């Protein structure tokens, strides 16, 4: 009984390293890229290809998250939002985490190379390097623009999904990339605003720490306005129809509204609501793209 309990506890700890909620959003965005890349209803072969792609991307993305936990364990330990992570609490050693990350990355890359296509494997591996090394190790502790530059890695999932189904990267995939790339800064800066003391203690040069609350709020507002324009591009490029357009306009105006309210009259509660709405914005926006794809 004790051995079973210990095994389950260990499995939960390793699962926590993969940041499951983040991975769910990554795989969901990749899946949207896959579906949009296939005209009409997918065949059984395309469904199987999509499933292998989702599994491979999940493994590599989980590996990147686990590697991130090693690099940032000291930072995580002083931040309330992340102090519970197994690496921050010392429940898992660096060696255990590194082996786990390496095995997940290797297995996921093998799946993508053998069962999907080499392009998807290399793009996914490049995303791993971009997030785990370039963003986490280099950019995050170096510049307050870390989220902007590092956002390129987070914006890759729909590109990976598109490449998995087509073997190339089309302009449609790049439009989806642009939407997530522009969505990322206001999403994370809203979080950083009400977690500013955590970031200050951690020593990370997040924008609210280096440039102050008011400047960050202005940047959030400006990014939501530019994001609104980007969210119209699928309709302009004829990737989608009126259903998506209506959803995109409502969601993006809502995000702009939160950005405006945050800029005009700040409160931690409003910053939390803005952060939560940003998650709704991206999830529902991509769901609308998916529904619209089958309405056309």
Domain count, the chain: 2
* Residue 6 forms part of a structural domain: no
Indicate if 235 and 287 belong to the same structural domain.
yes
Q: Please, are residues 104 and 59 in contact by the beta-carbon 8 Å criterion?
A: yes
Of 112-116, 121-125, 130-134, 166-170, the range with the lowest mean pLDDT is 130-134
Indicate if 148 and 25 belong to the same structural domain.
yes
Indicate if 18 and 165 belong to the same structural domain.
yes
Greatest Cα pair distance, the chain, in angstroms, is: 60
Domain that holds residue 52: 11-169
Indicate if 18 and 156 belong to the same structural domain.
yes
The residue out of 169, 185, 204 marking a domain boundary is 169
Indicate if 152 and 280 belong to the same structural domain.
no
Q: What pLDDT, on a 0 to 100 scale, did the predictor assign at position 216?
A: 95
Find the CATH number of the domain harbouring 161: 1.10.357.140
* Residue 3 forms part of a structural domain: no
Indicate if 92 and 102 belong to the same structural domain.
yes
Indicate if 120 and 195 belong to the same structural domain.
no
pLDDT, tens digit, 9 for 90 and up, residues 46-60: 999 999 999 999 999
pLDDT, tens digit, 9 for 90 and up, residues 238-281: 999 999 999 999 999 999 999 999 999 999 999 999 999 999 99
pLDDT, tens digit, 9 for 90 and up, residues 187-246: 999 999 999 988 888 788 889 999 999 999 999 999 999 999 999 999 999 999 999 999
Cα 170 from Cα 68, distance rounded (Å)? 30
Q: Please, are residues 16 and 85 in contact by the beta-carbon 8 Å criterion?
A: yes
Q: What pLDDT, on a 0 to 100 scale, did the predictor assign at position 1?
A: 45
* Residue 17 forms part of a structural domain: yes
Cα 129 from Cα 122, distance rounded (Å)? 10
Indicate if 92 and 25 belong to the same structural domain.
yes
pLDDT, tens digit, 9 for 90 and up, residues 29-51: 999 999 999 988 889 999 999 99
Indicate if 222 and 296 belong to the same structural domain.
yes
Indicate if 153 and 251 belong to the same structural domain.
no
The residue out of 112, 140, 169 marking a domain boundary is 169
* Residue 1 forms part of a structural domain: no
Indicate if 195 and 139 belong to the same structural domain.
no
Whether the pLDDT of residue 117 is over 90: the answer is: yes
Three-class SS state of 103: helix
Q: What is the pTM of this model?
A: 0.91
CB hemisphere CA count around 31 (13 angstroms): 18
The residue out of 136, 169, 202 marking a domain boundary is 169
Indicate if 140 and 222 belong to the same structural domain.
no
């Amino acid at each position: 009984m004790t051995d079973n309990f210990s095994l389950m506890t260990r499995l939960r700890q390793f699962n926590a390293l993969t940041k499951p909620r983040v991975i769910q959003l990554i795989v969901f965005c990749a899946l949207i890229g896959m579906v949009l890349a296939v005209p009409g209803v997918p065949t059984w072969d395309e469904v199987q290809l999509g499933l292998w792609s989702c599994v491979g991307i999940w493994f590599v993305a989980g590996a990147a998250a686990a590697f991130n936990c090693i690099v940032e364990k000291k930072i995580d330990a002083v931040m309330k939002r992340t102090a519970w992570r197994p690496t921050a609490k010392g429940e898992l050693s660096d060696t255990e985490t590194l082996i786990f990350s390496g095995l997940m990355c290797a297995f996921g890359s093998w799946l993508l190379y053998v069962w999907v296509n080499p392009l998807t494997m290399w793009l996914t591996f490049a995303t791993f390097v971009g997030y785990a090394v370039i963003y986490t190790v280099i950019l995050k502790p170096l510049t307050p623009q870390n989220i902007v530059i590092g956002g390129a890695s987070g914006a890759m999932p729909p590109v990976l999904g598109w490449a998995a189904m087509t073997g190339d990267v089309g302009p449609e995939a790049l439009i989806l990339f642009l939407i997530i790339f522009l969505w990322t800064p206001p999403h994370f800066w809203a979080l950083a605003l009400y977690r500013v003391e955590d970031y200050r203690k951690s020593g990370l040069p997040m924008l609210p720490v280096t440039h102050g609350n008011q400047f960050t709020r202005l940047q959030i507002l400006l990014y939501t306005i530019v994001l609104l324009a980007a969210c119209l591009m699928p309709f302009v490029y004829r990737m989608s129809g009126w259903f998506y357009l209506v959803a995109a306009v409502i969601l993006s105006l809502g995000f702009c509204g939160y950005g405006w309210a945050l800029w005009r009259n700040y409160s931690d509660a409003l910053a939390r609501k803005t952060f939560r709405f940003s998650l709704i914005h991206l999830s529902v926006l991509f769901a609308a793209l998916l529904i619209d794809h089958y309405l056309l």
